[in-house]
Structure 1
Amino acid sequence: MRIPEGRIKPLRGRGMYSSAQLAFKYVKYWLTASNGKGHGIHSPFVFDFINNVLNDKREFDSFRFIENVRAGLRDNDTEINVPDFGAGSRMQLHNKRKISAIARSSLKPKKFSQLLFRIVHYYKPKNILELGTSLGITTSYLSAANPSAQIITMEGAPEVAATAKNNFKQLHLSNIRVIEGNFDDNLLSVISQLSSVDLAFIDGNHRKAPTLDYFCQLLAAAGRSAIFIFDDIHWSREMEAAWGEIKAHPSVTLTVDLFFIGLVFFRTEQKIKQDFVIRF
């Protein structure tokens, strides 16, 4: 067992678990989750997901290009302003941070970024909404996985968004639109511009109330085969509580818990609600 690089780190404030608590939770997850090979999974849909998405070992050309950009970000010591929206408040305290520090602490690791790619590549969602662009690495994977999709990504920090846009230009990705500003102010407006939300990746305000607000707002526009992906579902008691309420929502028919992310499906053809915890 190996804890994914960069995901167990010291946490402060916002009710987050300590590094030791997270490590203990991860070990427990690893020992009790389904083995990730599909054995004993009594759901054809999830069995197919495990075999054709979770365990797809193919390397795509775009992986190398995007990871080269990530490497450049890790070496970039340019300082930019990063406003702190105060865990859901409208406070905007500006902090100077190096791009390299953001790249090392805030970006989704390659393993999970490439899983997002495979999800989009396999299920082909047309309208993709990302809450939390950061430096644009996950956005780039979402975009490259289905160039015909419309990608809207939302970022609260203008200088972070500008860096992401430069990365998209470098990668020649043309199906991405960046919306700047606080999610609380403009999410409903963005959703109203879409015929449906076919895939949403929520990696923004990691608190219970905002997370549930985003879920409810997105739910109103969810397509029949929509997939919602929530980041950091076990990083705090609040996020675990939010994840529990999302799983229990009557519109949700299937969930997959991969510890660091949680997947939500709304398959109306599925008559029995099912929740899976799968080792990844």
Structure 2
Amino acid sequence: MLELARQYASYYVNAKTKHGVHSPFVFDLITKVFEDKEVYPDYLVVEKLRQDLLNNRLITEVEDFGAGGEKQAVSERKISDIAARAAKPARWGKLLYRLCKYFKPQNMLEFGTSLGITSAYQALGARQGSESFRFVSLEGSKNLVELAHINFKELGIDKDIHLVTGNFDKTLPKVLEDFERLDYIFIDGNHRKAPTLDYFNQMLDKAHNDTVFIFDDIHWSKEMSEAWDELKAHPKVTVSIDLFYIGLIFLRKEQEEEHFVIRF
């Protein structure tokens, strides 16, 4: 907790607004996405689902692969507790929605479905930006996959999201074989340095100039902060945006290397 507080203090001091940004690409992203205050109807749909899940006291068994990716003991947890702790808060879910709407990805990959709240934001945002898209979401726990599918069906997006169950280390290689390219990637799972960097390197072959990589909890621990620093230093990375709780990585060859810390 002290490390997180220290990291946030550093972020707060160094973060810039759009007025300190000279890159047209990043300036547009801030203006059209980060600062977009419109209340889209889809927000209300997803937040209604979140509230229903927060009120759900039923207990389910969850296989937790933990930060190390190794299967831990199966635990019994209330659905309400999972919804409260695992899903991205509304502010960040809405940002992911707008990012999908803005970038219009055709091929999307998510690490960490959980109950599907964050997945729903992204799928509905992609619907606004593109007539057709492919969205694969990876989840370690079989029961969470089943619950997420029920939630997707309720929202009418069950045909939009393909769920894959199992340890990311084992499921990712096969999933990548089935993609010709990746336009949008959201990584929220296995919060350790080595796996995070490994997943990134595995996906590079499927990435292209306009691919968006989004990493969750980049300052969750000293180890994740180190992973973020190594991602920024990768020779193919030209642009990074640090929003403290999430980080965006781009491989834009036409842009000079620059790393931004943006207040959000």
**TM-score interval (norm. to shorter):** over 0.9
**Higher share of residues assigned helix:** 2
Secondary structure in structure 2 of the residue aligned to 1:256:
strand
* 2:85 maps to amino acid: S
Structure 2: distance between partners of 1:223 and 1:177: 22
Question: What corresponds to 1:34 in structure 2?
Answer: 16
Secondary structure in structure 2 of the residue aligned to 1:146:
helix
Structure 1: distance between partners of 2:149 and 2:77: 18
Q: Please list the CA deviations of residues 238-261 of structure 1 after superposition, one character each: whole Å capped at 9, or x if unmatched.
A: 101110110000110100000000
Structure 1: distance between partners of 2:152 and 2:209: 30
CA deviation after TM superposition for structure 1 residue 103, in Å: 0.8
Selected match of 1:265 from 235, 250, 256? 250
Selected match of 1:195 from 163, 166, 180? 180
Q: Please list the CA deviations of residues 164-213 of structure 1 after superposition, one character each: whole Å capped at 9, or x if unmatched.
A: 11110000012110000010001011011011110000001000011011
Q: Does 1:171 find its partner at 2:151?
A: no
Listed as ranges, the matches of 1:59-74 within 5 Å are 59-74=39-54
Q: Does 1:161 find its partner at 2:169?
A: no
- Alpha-carbon RMSD across the aligned residues, in angstroms, is 1.1
Secondary structure in structure 1 of the residue aligned to 2:20:
coil
Q: Does 1:229 find its partner at 2:214?
A: yes
CA deviation after TM superposition for structure 1 residue 88, in Å: 2.5
Structure 2: distance between partners of 1:40 and 1:91: 45
* 2:42 maps to amino acid: S
Structure 2: distance between partners of 1:141 and 1:177: 15
Structure 1: distance between partners of 2:144 and 2:166: 11
Q: Does 1:25 find its partner at 2:7?
A: yes
Structure 2: distance between partners of 1:259 and 1:177: 29
Structure 1: distance between partners of 2:170 and 2:76: 24
Selected match of 1:242 from 200, 208, 227? 227
Structure 2: distance between partners of 1:77 and 1:223: 44
Secondary structure in structure 1 of the residue aligned to 2:30:
helix
Q: Provide the aligned length of Structure 1 versus Structure 2.
A: 259
* Cα pair 2:3 2:222 within 8 Å, conserved: no
Question: What corresponds to 2:103 in structure 1?
Answer: 123
Q: Please list the CA deviations of residues 41-65 of structure 1 after superposition, one character each: whole Å capped at 9, or x if unmatched.
A: 0101000000001101111111101
* Cα pair 2:110 2:188 within 8 Å, conserved: yes
* 2:169 maps to amino acid: D
Secondary structure in structure 2 of the residue aligned to 1:220:
helix
Selected match of 1:111 from 91, 100, 107? 91
* 1:33 maps to amino acid: A
Q: Does 1:151 find its partner at 2:135?
A: yes
CA deviation after TM superposition for structure 1 residue 28, in Å: 3.2
CA deviation after TM superposition for structure 1 residue 86, in Å: 4.0
* Cα pair 2:96 2:122 within 8 Å, conserved: yes
CA deviation after TM superposition for structure 1 residue 89, in Å: 4.4
Secondary structure in structure 2 of the residue aligned to 1:93:
coil
Secondary structure in structure 2 of the residue aligned to 1:190:
helix
Segments of structure 1 that go 5 or more residues without pairing to the other structure are: 1-17
Structure 2: distance between partners of 1:207 and 1:263: 17
Q: Does 1:180 find its partner at 2:165?
A: yes
CA deviation after TM superposition for structure 1 residue 151, in Å: 0.8
